[in-house]
Structure 1
Amino acid sequence: MIKQLKFIIYTRPFICFLYYFIRLYTATFRLKIENEKSWQSMLNGNQPVILVTWHQQFFSAIRHFKKYARYNPGLMISRSRDGDLISAVARRSGWRTPRGSSSKGGKEAMAAMIVHLNTYGFGAHILDGPTGPMGKVKPGIIKMALQTNALLVPFFIDSHQAWFFNSWDRFMIPKPFAKVRLRFLDPIHIYGEKNEDFDVLRERLETLMLPGLHP
């Protein structure tokens, strides 16, 4: 029974159903967007931009982020079975999805993501994905920023009513018809002096991002 269920979950009809279910569900949110124009004006001016957030919070942005399809956005996603579902939904939303993580295919996916950013100038990155630990910025984003000269734009999501899963990231899903706020911080430029340690840049970004993580 479990094998049959898993087979159904990864079929094309189920993925199509999941995509439209997410769109319908998230359409119930009373969504408020803050500080979006500040980074879009830079992107429209050919400045590369990478949106960054925590794994906990990306679900609520899926519907709104379809509006960015015209920018040919990219998002690196793991080669796990869960990643298959996420990647399929992202592609239906107009996003390119290089596949890989630190445990499998990460080097190739990172290289593909850097090429994508240098070509199209826009992408997003889940800082502590796909397996955590929660609130720990992985070093890949620093490499991407340094090799593409991209501005990083942190975004956070909060809701006055939400469920939090008992998972490593305390994954958040706002309840139907909840007030949801998608808040962008001002763009930041990750760069270091020649003698500055790579991990110092990672820790600097982590310190900036942690206040937006729901405990």
Structure 2
Amino acid sequence: MPRANKRPKKIGPAQKVARVLLSSILQIFFWIMQTLRFKNQLEIEHPCIMAVYHDELMPLVHYFRNQGITAIASRNHFGYSIAKVMERYDYEVALGSPSRGGKDAFLQLLKAARKGKSIAFAVDGSRGPRHEMKQGAMVLAKRTKLPLYLIRASYDGWRIERSWDKSKFPKPFAEVSFNYKRFALEDYADEADLNIALLAAQNELSGLQADDYQAPK
């Protein structure tokens, strides 16, 4: 499905090669994820808004492949590369971040949700701070009146230490467990309660499972 976002400015040959190489590497990870074993299923309503931390996104992306889910990615080399791979698995990808194209991306997510699509939202992206929930998913859920699910994924994987979120790519044949709950957004009907609701959702999302990242000594 073509993206509604504006195309980026023209890039040079070296940048084009970098994107092709990065897409190829990400495709290898997607092939590896075909070996994943899911210990439980996500019993959630659809359409909905799914809030997940950026570093735990990969198993969820694989789990919902070929189901017409809409997601958001940064408007940079990594974002365009992963969007290209995700679109091969029937994802619609809105490209944007707070500094580049964020408003256009949010409008695309809003339109997709109103058409009955579920939205996967990395709530601490695209630059962090890591595991700090932003307002985007909650605002989207309030505007569309769709249920908001907080989702964590537990699995063995490789950490990318140099990435801002310490991304965790699953190892081959890893077992994946989902820890999740529906957030009672209807309890915060007043727009003035948004910050209170955000703090409550952040606490619940973090509390679903312990963070297994340990900084190298």
Q: Name the TM-score class by shorter chain.
A: 0.7 to 0.9
Please tell me whether residue 57 in structure 1 is matched to residue 56 in structure 2: yes
Which of residues 36, 39, 55 is equivalent to 1:29? 36
Q: Normalization by structure 2: what TM-score?
A: 0.81
Q: Which residue of 2 aligns with 1:132?
A: 128
Alignment of 1:168-187 (within 5 A): 168-181=164-177, 183-187=178-182
Q: Which residue of 1 aligns with 2:17?
A: 8
Instruction: Give distance in 1, aligned partners of 2:70 and 2:106.
Output: 11
Alignment of 1:163-202 (within 5 A): 163-166=158-161, 167-181=163-177, 183-191=178-186, 192-194=188-190, 196-202=192-198
Aligned CA-pair RMSD: 2.3
Q: Which residue of 1 aligns with 2:212?
A: 214
How far is 1:21 from its partner?
1.7
Q: Which residue of 1 aligns with 2:103?
A: 107
Alignment of 1:38-49 (within 5 A): 39=44, 42-43=45-46, 48-49=47-48
Q: What runs of 5+ residues in structure 1 fail to find an aligned partner?
A: none
Instruction: Give distance in 2, aligned partners of 1:30 and 1:193.
Output: 39
The change in CA–CA distance for 1:84 and 1:33 in structure 2 (over 3 A counts) is same
Instruction: Give distance in 1, aligned partners of 2:212 and 2:59.
Output: 14
For 2:51, what is the secondary structure of its paired residue?
Answer: strand
For 2:93, what is the secondary structure of its paired residue?
Answer: coil
Deviations 1:174-200 (A, max 9, x none): 32223222x152322424243743211
The change in CA–CA distance for 1:200 and 1:60 in structure 2 (over 3 A counts) is same
For 1:76, what is the secondary structure of its paired residue?
Answer: strand
Q: How many residue pairs are counted as aligned between the two chains?
A: 198
For 1:107, what is the secondary structure of its paired residue?
Answer: helix
Instruction: Give distance in 2, aligned partners of 1:186 and 1:172.
Output: 22
Q: Could you list the runs of 4 or more consecutive aligned residues of structure 1 that deviate by over 4 angstroms after TM superposition?
A: 3-6
Q: Normalization by structure 1: what TM-score?
A: 0.81
Instruction: Give distance in 2, aligned partners of 1:186 and 1:156.
Output: 9
User: What residue identity is the alignment partner of 1:9?
Assistant: A
Cα pair 2:19 2:78 within 8 Å, conserved: no
